[in-house]
């Protein structure tokens, strides 16, 4: 009896286990397929009516059932752009500090603290933005911006209107803060991966710290840095909670960054459960599809770049 069981396991154990793992692998593949299918199928009623023009038409009117993705899409792009404008230089400054300037005993603790901050749920950033940063912006920062930059030609149009705190600018800043620990962690990692010999030879030639980072470290791992930035951008584009709190959810395009706006993810979070009517719901799913395609490409490029930097080295 015991022997029979053993023989059975010897004979069929391998194919059984292999098929088991293969089955789950195929399940994951199917999950991806189903995801794409659900997004296309769900948005079909809207796409059939509006066609590809859905992406570049503006207008969001549940009463007349006229929908276009342009305003939320632009909102997503603008807030992510502001986030990158803040996130990238600051992350670089932090990575520079952590790899070259900071005294050695402090490097590890600060790096760990930053990695932990990258794990804090985005809803925390959102709630902080709403209760702490929004009042500060409303009473101090925005009146100042309107009084100063608001009068400068050309740039001035970005800083018009009443200071209400919540809006595109605040959403972008919160997003920047949120992706910052993430980009910093990636940058620090690729900076550290630069062979010590390269660094030492540069210092040996008399290069300053800044020159070592700018002329040796950064060129050596630029692919990794760009990859990290792209992954951060991917997060910023799709981030929902940090933005929904502070964007104001207005389907209205304004040149002023101080005005409330909306992003794809914020529109979904705010409206999806309340949407009635086939076309309305389908249009929201359509927004999701646009966001998915956008982040898909950004993430795919970012991964490729990071992979290339890990393999290629000097290439």
**Interaction with another protein in 173-192: which residues (CB under 8 A)?**
177, 180-181
User: Any contact of residue 237 with another protein (CB under 8 A)?
Assistant: yes
- In this structure, are residues 73 and 58 in contact, taking their beta carbons and an 8 Å threshold? no
Judged by CB under 8 A, the chain residues 244 through 283 that form the site for another protein are 244-245, 265, 268-269, 272-273
Q: Tell me which of 7, 35, 53, 109 binds another protein, using CB under 8 A.
A: 35
User: Any contact of residue 295 with another protein (CB under 8 A)?
Assistant: yes
Interface stretch with another protein, choices 77-85, 141-149, 254-262, 299-307 (CB under 8 A): 299-307
Tokens linked to 111? 């790096």
Q: Tell me which of 55, 57, 66, 90 binds another protein, using CB under 8 A.
A: 90
Q: Tell me which of 1, 3, 4, 32 binds another protein, using CB under 8 A.
A: 32
Residues with Cβ within 8 Å of residue 126, at least 6 apart in sequence: 174, 241, 242, 243, 244, 245, 246
Distance CA 283, CA 62 (A): 10
Residues with Cβ within 8 Å of residue 63, at least 6 apart in sequence: none
What Cα–Cα distance (Å) separates residue 232 from each residue in 145, 212, 226, 291? 27, 25, 10, 15
Provide the minimum distance between the beta carbon of 120 and another protein in the complex, in angstroms, as a whole number: 6
Q: Which is nearer to another protein, 56 or 296 (CB)?
A: 296
Q: Tell me which of 2, 5, 21, 104 binds another protein, using CB under 8 A.
A: 21
Residues with Cβ within 8 Å of residue 94, at least 6 apart in sequence: 114, 180, 184, 187, 188
Tokens 């100042």 -> residue = 144
Provide the minimum distance between the beta carbon of 134 and another protein in the complex, in angstroms, as a whole number: 12
Judged by CB under 8 A, the chain residues 113 through 132 that form the site for another protein are 116-117, 119-128, 130-132
Q: What are phi and psi of 66, to 5 degrees?
A: -115, 120
User: Any contact of residue 136 with another protein (CB under 8 A)?
Assistant: no
User: Any contact of residue 164 with another protein (CB under 8 A)?
Assistant: no
User: Any contact of residue 167 with another protein (CB under 8 A)?
Assistant: no
Distance CA 142, CA 146 (A): 6
Q: Which is nearer to another protein, 70 or 125 (CB)?
A: 125
């Amino acid at each position: 009896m015991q022997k029979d069981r053993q023989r059975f396991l010897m004979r069929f154990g391998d194919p059984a286990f292999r098929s088991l793992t293969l089955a789950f692998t195929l399940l994951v593949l199917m999950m991806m397929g189903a995801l794409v299918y659900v997004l296309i199928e769900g948005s079909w009623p809207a796409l059939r009516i509006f066609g590809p023009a859905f992406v570049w038409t503006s207008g969001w009117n549940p009463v007349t059932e006229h929908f276009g993705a342009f305003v939320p899409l632009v909102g997503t792009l603008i807030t992510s752009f502001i986030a990158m404008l803040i996130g990238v230089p600051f992350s670089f400054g932090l990575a520079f500090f952590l790899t070259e300037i900071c005294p050695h005993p402090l490097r590890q603790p600060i790096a760990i603290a930053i990695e932990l901050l990258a794990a804090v749920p985005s809803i925390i950033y959102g709630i902080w933005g709403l209760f702490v940063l929004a009042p500060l912006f409303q009473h101090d920062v925005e009146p100042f911006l309107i009084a100063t930059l608001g009068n400068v030609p050309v740039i001035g149009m970005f800083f018009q209107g009443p200071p209400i705190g919540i809006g595109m600018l605040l959403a972008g800043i919160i997003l920047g803060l949120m992706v910052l620990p993430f980009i910093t962690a990636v940058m620090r990692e690729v900076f550290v991966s630069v062979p010590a010999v390269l660094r030492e030879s540069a210092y040996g030639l008399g290069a300053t710290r800044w020159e070592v980072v700018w002329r040796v470290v950064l060129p050596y791992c630029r692919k990794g840095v760009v990859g990290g930035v792209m992954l951060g951008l991917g997060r910023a584009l799709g981030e929902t909670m940090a933005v929904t709190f502070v964007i104001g959810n207005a389907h209205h395009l304004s040149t002023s960054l101080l005005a409330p706006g909306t992003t794809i993810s914020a529109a979904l979070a705010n409206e999806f459960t309340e949407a009635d009517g086939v076309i309305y719901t389908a249009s929201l799913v359509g927004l999701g599809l646009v966001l998915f395609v956008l982040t898909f490409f950004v993430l795919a490029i970012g991964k490729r770049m990071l992979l290339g930097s890990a393999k290629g080295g000097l290439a």
